[in-house]
Structure 1
Amino acid sequence: MDERTQLIERELEALYQVSQVLNRPLGLKAKLEGILEILQDCAGMRSGMLALREQEGDALEVCSVLRSDGAKIEKPVRYEPGEGLMGTILDAGRTIVVERIADEPRFLGKLGLYDPALPFIGSPIRVGDHDLVGVLAAQPVDRQWLDVRARFLEMVANLIAQSIDLLRGMERKQLDLAAERDQLKQSLRRNYGFDNIVGRSPPMQRVFELVRQVAKWNTTVLIRGESGTGKEAIANAIHYNSACAGGPFVKLNCAALPDNLLESELFGHEKGAFSGAIAQRKGRFELANHGTIFLDEIGETSPSFQAKLLRIIQEGEFDRVGGTQTLKVQVRIIAATNRNLEEEVEAGRFREDLYYRLNVMPIFMPPLRDRLEDIPELAEFLLKRISQQQGGRPLTIKESAIRLLMRHNWPGNVRELENCLERAAILSPDGVIDRDVIAMTGLEDSDMAITGPAVKKPEINFEGMDEREQVIAALEQTGWVQAKAARLLNMTPRQIAYRVRTLNIKMKRI
């Protein structure tokens, strides 16, 4: 076998090893260093150098060098466009072969690597047809078959180009994902901040103060209150304003699953633990590690399940269903219930020891009927959300509609109010919600008697109302007595009777 054939076989073996290095799960720098070693050990190309184009400019920066003494680059070495032989190769976009370095005036020798009596080969690293991203250079150990060596170096440069393109694409995606993650975190903090929980009434202000205090610490929180009062919104606010806001926030409605599925859902299971467990699965507690888990409707769980829950709250450890390994997690627990847990404990339906573990920091959510003064602001807030759900459709609510909403007892709390407004938005062809539209939702037919202390009727502000709205507001304020409403509007009884008839106002009997 002649020497040329032997050289080609060595180069083929070197190409195979280069492809293996590029397929390894290594960083770009480690891959490039490995390639330079292969060039020297297998292909007789010493003093390898790789310079990559800066992503923010056109200059080349040397990023990997194979020195015979093993020394590293002390300071960055750069080549401006057209500078020296390296800059010329990048500008020309083609391989340049120098038979003897000493005879090449463009060679600068910034790194002091090369023997001036030997040849030099440099190949551009090209992504696609036009995107030149760097230069691969090396020094053959002799002048034999420089055309074969140049062709070999071009092949290696092409392999490197594919890897650089993939890695830089991954870097861009990682940067985009990091930026998107940060944007989402900021959005979550905005959406779940204290300013986005509506309520200026004294009961809600007390809730806000408790939330601000408890968010500073990793203590267990029990949010109590009727269904629909916004317990989940408070849990969100606690998490996203706490030290573990960067961690996961995992939710589970305990009332939605039977005990056997609830245990698997919270603690996970091993493969084959039960029929249908075809693979290992992590539970919610494991997924919430270094974050927060929100256990809604905790009062609906059975005493047998409560015993298992008590262990993880006390010790921070649990076993997957069907598993033998004890796992530990660091999770902040926020629970919520609409039940009277004291009565449940007394009746033996809720474990007393778990009750005391959960009730470290109780937060009581007031029912909507105890904070009717929040309804105008709540209605505006909810209508904005409904507007987004309906494709940005403009929605407005009249004062007469607000007054009708404030006369309702709201057994379903904020959730009922949102449902009522969503129905009203659907029933309003022009997006203007007045008293008649609210009445069409069925609210007028419900129990309008406010239980408990009498609620003071809001004072009427006639500014901005049309004539029909003014007449309705005055009638409501005066108990639908036309004579009294006429005095409020500086009209005669005959004038207001005429307007009731012509404006198609349906009179009520109180």
Structure 2
Amino acid sequence: MNENPSASLLPSQFEVLARIGQLLARSLDAPQSLREVLRTLEISGHLSRGMIAVVDPDSGDLSVYAVHGLDHDDFQAVCYRAGEGLLGRILESGRPCAVARLGEDPRFLNRLGLYERDLPFIAVPIHFSGTLQGVLAVQPDAQDDGLLDERVRFVELLANLVGQSVRLSLEAAQERRSLDQERDPQRRTVRHRPGFGNLVGHSPA
């Protein structure tokens, strides 16, 4: 009797979901926990090249936030506008995207230079409190085996788990920007405030 491939897929998925749930529950550092999620997906979930992009609250664009396998300097400037490429389509529609062979989809922009063109690609929206907060993208380790739809549903469950951590990261980034904006006027005021250096005359010797 032939074994149903999806039957062996489900137990491993539940195990990965449990590990990631525990990881997110015990970590107070949202950015670090998201990086650990991507690492766990590659090691235990056979979903490599994990990437999380977040919606920039100022521009509304998708900005790449974390990538397993790349240093921060390699992706910090990468972003996608609504409707631009595979990820921009998710920002525009709010619906997941799955490609059986990535290189065959003309919407693939390859801005990260990371993904394998012969492998599938899955990207799903990250929602929190009904609002699109970002996108989670992964690439299965092997060529399509007919279970792409099952893997999409699994990645959607993962996106639901990481939604709160993404939201916490966005709130922390917004707080840092607000603090920087408050400090700049204070610094300008200090530079122009009368002080001893401004009271002493400066003249050629």
Alignment TM class, shorter chain as reference: 0.7 to 0.9
CA distance in 1: counterparts of 2:5 and 2:73, whole angstroms: 35
Shift of 1:175: 8.7
- Counterparts of residues 208-227 of structure 1 (less than 5 Å): none
Gap runs ≥5 in structure 1: 183-510
Residue 95 of structure 2: aligned partner: 94
Residue 86 of structure 2: aligned partner: 85
CA distance in 1: counterparts of 2:10 and 2:45, whole angstroms: 9
Contact 1:52 1:135 in 2 (8 A): yes
- Counterparts of residues 170-209 of structure 1 (less than 5 Å): none
CA distance in 2: counterparts of 1:71 and 1:170, whole angstroms: 21
Residue 156 of structure 2 corresponds to residue 154 of structure 1:
yes
Residue 43 of structure 1: aligned partner: 45
Residue 136 of structure 1: aligned partner: 136
CA distance in 2: counterparts of 1:77 and 1:174, whole angstroms: 21
- The one-letter code matched in structure 1 to 2:95 is R
Instruction: Indicate how the Cα distance of structure 1 residues 20 and 2 shifts in structure 2: closer, same or farther if over 3 A, else same.
Output: same
Residue 197 of structure 2: aligned partner: none
CA distance in 2: counterparts of 1:116 and 1:171, whole angstroms: 33
- Counterparts of residues 221-236 of structure 1 (less than 5 Å): none
Shift of 1:96: 0.8
SS of 1:49's equivalent? Answer: strand
1:3 to 2, 5, 13: 5
Shift of 1:78: 1.0
Residue 61 of structure 2: aligned partner: 59
Residue 103 of structure 1: aligned partner: 104
Contact 1:99 1:120 in 2 (8 A): yes
CA distance in 1: counterparts of 2:91 and 2:25, whole angstroms: 26
CA distance in 1: counterparts of 2:151 and 2:132, whole angstroms: 21
SS of 2:108's equivalent? Answer: coil
Shift of 1:73: 3.7
Shift of 1:39: 1.1
- Counterparts of residues 69-468 of structure 1 (less than 5 Å): 71-74=71-74, 75-129=76-130, 131-141=131-141, 142-144=143-145, 145-166=147-168, 168=170
CA distance in 2: counterparts of 1:72 and 1:7, whole angstroms: 32
Contact 1:123 1:157 in 2 (8 A): yes
CA shift digits 1:424-457 (9 cap, x unpaired)? xxxxxxxxxxxxxxxxxxxxxxxxxxxxxxxxxx
Contact 1:7 1:43 in 2 (8 A): no
SS of 1:162's equivalent? Answer: helix
CA distance in 2: counterparts of 1:173 and 1:49, whole angstroms: 24
- The one-letter code matched in structure 2 to 1:42 is S
Instruction: Indicate how the Cα distance of structure 1 residues 170 and 48 shifts in structure 2: closer, same or farther if over 3 A, else same.
Output: closer
CA distance in 2: counterparts of 1:174 and 1:59, whole angstroms: 19
SS of 2:52's equivalent? Answer: strand
SS of 2:59's equivalent? Answer: coil
CA distance in 2: counterparts of 1:97 and 1:138, whole angstroms: 10
SS of 1:109's equivalent? Answer: coil
- The one-letter code matched in structure 1 to 2:110 is G
SS of 2:38's equivalent? Answer: helix
- The one-letter code matched in structure 2 to 1:22 is L
CA distance in 2: counterparts of 1:165 and 1:135, whole angstroms: 12
CA shift digits 1:396-447 (9 cap, x unpaired)? xxxxxxxxxxxxxxxxxxxxxxxxxxxxxxxxxxxxxxxxxxxxxxxxxxxx
Q: Runs (4+) of structure 1 moved beyond 6 Å?
A: 170-176
SS of 1:23's equivalent? Answer: helix
SS of 1:132's equivalent? Answer: strand
CA distance in 2: counterparts of 1:24 and 1:167, whole angstroms: 16
CA shift digits 1:206-264 (9 cap, x unpaired)? xxxxxxxxxxxxxxxxxxxxxxxxxxxxxxxxxxxxxxxxxxxxxxxxxxxxxxxxxxx
Shift of 1:44: 1.1
Residue 15 of structure 1: aligned partner: 17
Shift of 1:21: 1.7
Shift of 1:28: 2.3
Instruction: Indicate how the Cα distance of structure 1 residues 43 and 55 shifts in structure 2: closer, same or farther if over 3 A, else same.
Output: same
Alignment TM-score, normalising by the size of structure 2: 0.76
- The one-letter code matched in structure 2 to 1:138 is V
Alignment TM-score, normalising by the size of structure 1: 0.32
CA distance in 1: counterparts of 2:29 and 2:36, whole angstroms: 11
CA distance in 2: counterparts of 1:150 and 1:7, whole angstroms: 12
CA distance in 2: counterparts of 1:97 and 1:134, whole angstroms: 16
CA distance in 2: counterparts of 1:172 and 1:48, whole angstroms: 24
Q: How many residues align?
A: 175
Instruction: Indicate the RMSD between aligned Cα atoms, in angstroms.
Output: 2.4
Contact 2:27 2:33 in 1 (8 A): no
- The one-letter code matched in structure 1 to 2:139 is Q
Shift of 1:3: 3.4
CA distance in 2: counterparts of 1:140 and 1:25, whole angstroms: 26
- The one-letter code matched in structure 2 to 1:16 is A
